[in-house]
Chains A and B, each alone.
Chain A
Amino acid sequence: MATKDLDIELKLLLDAIYLKYHYDFRGYAMASLKRRMTLAADHFGCRTLSQLQDRILHEPPLFPELLNYLTVQVSEMFRDPTYFRSLRESVIPLLRTYPSLKVWVAGCSTGEEVYSLAILLREEGLLERTLIYATDINTQALQKAEAGVYAVDRIAAFTQNHSQSGGHASLSDYYTAAYGNVVFDRALKKHIVFSDHSLATDSVFAEVQLLSCRNVLIYFNRELQERALGLFKDSLCRRGFLGLGARESLRFSQHAPAFSSLVWEDRIFQKG
C-alpha cells in the first residue's frame, strides 16, 4: 500500500524537529504521536502537518508550545495507589538498609509522582538521607514540577489516592493552600534535583537504588524501549528496584533476564 500523505508529513516533521531542536521523537510509538501532532496542528490553525512543519521551523518560539502538546502527561499524585502501597510494603524495608539513597523519576513531567515519592519517603523516615533526581525532556514541565504548585480542585483526588496508598499522615501536612492553588513544602523540594534528560538521546548519569518510570515506555517503539530499559539497567545498583506503569512490562525485552519480578501486579522489578 502506498504511504499515506499524513505518514510522509509526520516523518518529515519529526526529522525537522530533530535537526533543528535536537529533540528526537522518531522512536516514539506512531499512533499516539500522530494523534497528538494532529491535535497540535489544529491548535496552531494548520491544515496539514506540512504547514505545521513550516511554522515550527521558522517560528522557534512556537516550539515549546508544541513540545507541551507532545509530552505533557496528565498525572496525579499517588496515581495507582496500590503501586505506592507495594513500594511501602515490599521496597522500603530493603531501602532502609542503605545509608544513603538515590531515586530517579524518569519522565517526571509536572512532578506529581516526584512529590508522591518524596512524601512516601518522608513518612517512612527515609527522605533525610535521599536524593531524588526528577528528569524530563520538557523544560516547561520541569519548571512546573519545581514550582510544586497545583490547582486546589485536584487535591481531593490526590488526598484520596494518598490515603489508599497507605499514607500515615494527612496530605495537607505537606502543602500550603493559597489563591486557588496549593504549593508543596520546601522541605520536600530540598531533596529533589530537577533536570533535563532524554531517554532517547542522553546516557546514564547516576547510580540509583530505586527508579520509577511509569507510563513513559508505552509512548516509545520497541527499539527506543530497549534503549531506555538498557539505561535503567545500567543506572540501577545491584538489587536495585524498577517501577513501571500498570500496563507496562519487561516481557518482550532483551533486558528482561537482568530483572526479576518483585510485585508483578504493581510492576515492581528488582535487578538481579
Chain B
Amino acid sequence: MDFESPTGIQAAALAGRIDAVVVGASAGGVEALGTLLPALPRGFRPAVLVVLHQPRERRSLLVDIFSSRCALPVQEAQDKEPAQPGTIYFAPPDYHLLVDDGPSLALSADEPVLFSRPSIDVLFESAADTYGHRLAGLILTGANSDGARGLAAVREAGGVTLVQRPDTAMVATMPTAALARGRPTSCSRSNRWPSSCG
C-alpha cells in the first residue's frame, strides 16, 4: 500500500475548515493505517478518531504499534475525555466510540452494529452530529458494510467524505459499500490521500 502525504485533508485542516477526521477500517486496516497515520505531520490540527475492527478478547496493541511511528500523539479513547486537536484516538476493543458535545469522547457498551463493536457507523454518525460540516470522514479497506451509513451521515452534515479506491484496498467490500451509498467528495487515486477536499 502506498498512500502519499495527506495533502487534501492537510490543506483543509490548515485552512481551518475541519476540526476532526474520522477514519474507519476493518480487514487490512492495520496496514492501511500504517501508511496513512504516520503521514500526518506534526502541527496537523484536527483530532483524528479511528475505529478499526479488532478481536474483543485481547488487549489492543494499536497504541503501542502506532505511537512510535506517528508524529502526532496516539491514545486509546477514554470516556468523557475532551477530543484534543492534533491527537490520534483509537476506539477501545468491545466499546463503541462516540463524540459528544464539547466535543468530548464518549464510550458505550451498546449492542454491536453490523456485528461490530466498535462500529464505524456509530462513530461517524455521532461525529457528524457534533462537528457538522467541520468534519472529514474516511473509509478504508474492510470486509463488511460498516461505515457506509456513517459516511452518508457525514456527507449529509456537509462534511468532507473520502473513500479508499476499492481496487487499491486489501479487501474491497467496505469501500465499495461506502461508494454505493453515494459519491464521496473525493475518491483516492492510486492509494493516495486525495488532493482535493471539497
Q: Do A and B bind each other?
A: yes
Q: Give me the interface of A with B, judged by CB distance under 8 Å.
A: 1, 4, 6, 29-32, 34-36, 73-74, 215, 217-219, 222, 225, 245-249, 252
Query: Within B66-104, which residues are at the interface with A (CB < 8 Å)?
Result: 78-80, 92, 94-96, 98-101
Q: B18 to chain A: closest CB distance in Å?
A: 16
Choose among A34, A36, A222, A247 the residue that contacts B129 (Cβ–Cβ < 8 A): A34
How many Å lie between the Cα of A215 and that of B108 in the bound state?
Answer: 8
How many residues of chain B are within 8 Å of chain A by beta carbon? 23
Choose among B92, B101, B108, B132 the residue that contacts A32 (Cβ–Cβ < 8 A): B108
The answer to whether B107 has its CB under 8 Å from any CB of chain A is: yes
How many Å lie between the Cα of A136 and that of B28 in the bound state?
Answer: 41
Q: Which residue, A31, A74, A219, has most C-beta atoms of chain B within 10 A?
A: A31
Instruction: Name the residue of chain B whose CB is nearest to the CB of A219.
Output: B108
In the complex, the answer to whether B100 meets A245 with C-beta atoms within 8 Å is no
Collect the chain A residues with CB atoms within 8 Å of residue B176's CB.
Answer: none
In the complex, the answer to whether A73 meets B110 with C-beta atoms within 8 Å is yes
Q: A95 to chain B: closest CB distance in Å?
A: 26
Q: List 30 A-B contacts (CB under 8 A).
A: A4-B129, A29-B80, A29-B100, A31-B98, A31-B100, A31-B101, A31-B126, A31-B129, A32-B96, A32-B106, A32-B108, A32-B110, A34-B126, A35-B110, A35-B126, A36-B110, A73-B110, A74-B109, A74-B111, A217-B79, A218-B95, A218-B107, A219-B108, A222-B80, A225-B80, A245-B109, A246-B92, A246-B94, A247-B79, A252-B80
Collect the chain B residues with CB atoms within 8 Å of residue A217's CB.
Answer: 79
The answer to whether B130 has its CB under 8 Å from any CB of chain A is: yes
Instruction: Name the residue of chain A whose CB is nearest to the CB of B95.
Output: A247
How many Å lie between the Cα of A248 and that of B81 in the bound state?
Answer: 11
Instruction: Name the residue of chain B whose CB is nearest to the CB of A160.
Output: B57
Going nearest first, the 3 A-B pairs with the smallest beta carbon separation are A31-B98, A215-B109, A31-B100
In the complex, the answer to whether A31 meets B92 with C-beta atoms within 8 Å is no
Given contacts A31-B99, A35-B126, 19 further A-B contacts (CB under 8 A): A4-B129, A6-B129, A29-B108, A31-B100, A31-B108, A31-B130, A32-B96, A32-B110, A35-B122, A35-B125, A36-B110, A73-B110, A74-B109, A218-B108, A245-B109, A246-B94, A247-B95, A247-B107, A249-B78
How many Å lie between the Cα of A249 and that of B80 in the bound state?
Answer: 11
Q: B102 to chain A: closest CB distance in Å?
A: 10
